[in-house]
Amino acid sequence: MPQPDGYSDVPAGKIAAVVTHLEMTACPSRRDDPPGAWRLRRVERPALDWYRDLYRRVGEEWLWFSRARMSDATLAVLIHTPGVEVHALSADGSDEGLLELDFREPGQCELVFFGVTSKLIGTGAGRYLMNRALELAWRNDVGRVWMHTCTFDHPSALAFYQRSGFRPFRRQIEVANDPRLDGTTPRDVARHVPVIE
């Protein structure tokens, strides 16, 4: 159902974000890696505690909550299923970046989750991770790579994805229960999105 023009109320206890879907239908020219001592490794059948910890450290400030609300059984099925790959970006011996790719749709790859922890933002690690993500995404018989971001993400995220070769093709509004009010995330994260009870 189309939304009316103008303002729409978001009920107390909810959050609302504008989600932008982006895609590329041809492998972009390779961009140079920034200087840095990072390494990407695939994590086969990731342990749930490890995955949840990295997911939280990368995404909590941007209100990533979908995987945090999943039961262990649901999460395990999702990240252990054939066609889904989980990769970790390591810096100084610690996992500080998350890349999740979904190849289950023939001819496509979705960058499901992509990001680095706050200590790596602005260091070039994101560019390094995106370079590896695109190499991995396009290595098979793929004709489309896509992802989405939202207005809760880092203010530079959308422009970064567009510089990387992605083109916006769809916009949606996502409304959900505020994860800070039900204990999914700490109450003091994502100060750029005010809590309204």
Residue 197 lies in a domain: no
How much is the pLDDT for 79? 98
Query: Residue 152: inside a domain, yes or no?
Result: yes
pLDDT in tens, 46-103: 999 999 999 999 999 999 999 999 999 999 999 999 999 999 999 999 999 999 999 9
Query: How, if at all, do strands 144-150 and 108-116 pair?
Result: parallel
Give a yes or no: residue 125 inside a domain: yes
- What is the reported pLDDT for 2? 72
- pTM assigned to the model: 0.94
Does residue 182 lie within any of the structural domains?
A: no
Domain boundaries, position 90: 14-29+36-177
Question: Residue 55 domain-assigned?
Answer: yes
Provide the pLDDT confidence category of residue 17 given band limits of 50, 70 and 90.
very high
CA-to-CA distance for 66 and 150, rounded, in angstroms?
A: 14
Q: Which residue has the tokens 């059948």?
A: 45
AA letter at 171: R
In a domain, 186, yes or no: no
The more confidently predicted of residues 145 and 140 is 145
- pLDDT confidence band for 30 (50 / 70 / 90): confident
